[in-house]
Structure 1
Amino acid sequence: MTNSSRPELPDGVGSQTLDRGLHVLEVVAAAEVSLQVAEIAERTGLHRSITYRMVRTLEHRGLVVRDAEGRYAVGARLAVLARAVVSPTLRDAAAPHLAALAEITGKTAFLVVAEGDSAITVHVEEPRTTIAHIAYRPGVRHPITAGGPGLALLAGGPPLPGERPEVTEARARGWAVSHGEVIPDYRSCAAPVVNHAGVCVGAVAVVFVGNGAPTEELGRQVMAAAAAVGADLHA
């Protein structure tokens, strides 16, 4: 379906090429799944050859990435650029608590925020004293309805009609869990970060590989870190 909501540039003002490139980036970022060039062209209304040049340029800059099947998704560079405008105070408040959580649990800890129907990782802290741990990077995006961090973001808000039972359970318990919903075999445990106004502004999470589900102790540790981040936002 062609996206006709993009306003035309005023005559003689701005760069049409840049405008097209940004439109392509917006379409890729808004998609819940990776897209082929033909799909991007259809959604933007651009010719396929123009779309191809745009996505290859964005790929060169690290703003989109291409998988083995030639499909495109947002790249980690986009999250790096967004750091200047997406909740800088939240990231600043979260960083030391994520670092402490990573050391206490021996697991990679990260901060996730909601953007539309997606959950996006904006900051990561890895444990420094473990022999091995999962490498995770800012820019990871997945549907907010999947994965521990997404479920925690939803649990931090009011109940919604038709929400997953796992969200209701996480809201009552204070933390969410998932197994293999975003990355096969990966387990996560996450808790919402709530600001002084009672609004969920993000989620603190840990990710790991293992046979056992997250324990009550791990859940309490993640929930305590999320609460500490929220408390620092109030200061």
Structure 2
Amino acid sequence: MAGRNTLGSLFGRSPIGPIQEHMQVAFEAAEHLPELVQASADEDWNRAKEIYKAIIESEKNADKMKRDVRRHLPKSLFLPVPRSDLLVLVGIQDQVANTAQDFASILMGRDMRFPEKLAPAVHELTQTSVACCGQALAAIQELDELLEVGFSGREVKRVEAMLNELDKLERRTDKQQFNLRRKLFKLEDELHPVDVMFYYRATALLGSLADCAEKVGDHLQILLAK
């Protein structure tokens, strides 16, 4: 498009591309979690280790990309949003990868296998939390289009609809997390207390993953309002 070509001729590579790529890599750290949970349920620890390595690699790549964006994002941008807001956005995106790694590290550090009575609820929460991250990524992928139209018009409405769907997904994780905690509470007397503590911690991290995705959407919503 003409607008994109004009931006490119003025500044070379758009600063938005690396921000979108960073969110893609952060999402890649999260999207491995359902298969990691399944591998632990199957007690396939060789498979789990391979998945864990992929998560670690994605988190490292996200960290590197975050530093690169912070170092190289131009200080003077003719854009509808301040440079500082874009830097904040990258920091929030990075929390997605960090939280995914934190959950994976607890799982692998303890060879954690959730009790069979909890397994369906854990899988459900994991899937929905990752879906939140995917929805946040989809919204961020529209950022360059939003810039082209000056954060106005039909594109804004389309992104707002995507963010509304993200909110719905995050609220679903709240309910799923509550239900999972209730199930765990009823099983506490049957389980080792230390295991119970880490089950609660792992569950909380899955909820935090969805919260991180929602924060990405919230910050994008702030950009839309400016």
> What TM-score do you get using the length of structure 1 for normalisation?
0.26
> What TM-score do you get using the length of structure 2 for normalisation?
0.27
1 or 2 for the larger relative contact order (CA 8 Å, sep ≥6)? Answer: 2
Structure with greater helix percent? 2
Structure with greater strand percent? 1
